[in-house]
Amino acid sequence: MSEESATWRVTQPPGAARKRTCRHLERARPVTAVAEGCSRCLAPGGSWVNLLACLECGAVGCCDSSPGRHAYEHFAVTGHPLARTLKAGEAWGWCYADAVFLEQG
Among 53, 80, 86, 102, binds Zn ion (CB under 5 A): 80
Which of 53, 54, 63, 102 binds Zn ion (CB under 5 A)? It is 54
The answer to whether residue 97 forms part of the interface with Zn ion (CB under 5 A) is: yes
Residue 52 touches Zn ion, criterion: CB under 5 A = no
Q: How far is CA 28 from CA 9, 15, 21, 42, 89, in A?
A: 10, 27, 15, 26, 20
Describe the strand order of the beta sheet including 93-95 as a list of residue ranges: 8-10, 100-104, 93-95, 82-85, 51-54, 60-62
Binding site for Zn ion (CB under 5 A): 22, 24, 38, 40-41, 54, 56-57, 59, 62, 68, 70, 78, 80, 95, 97-98
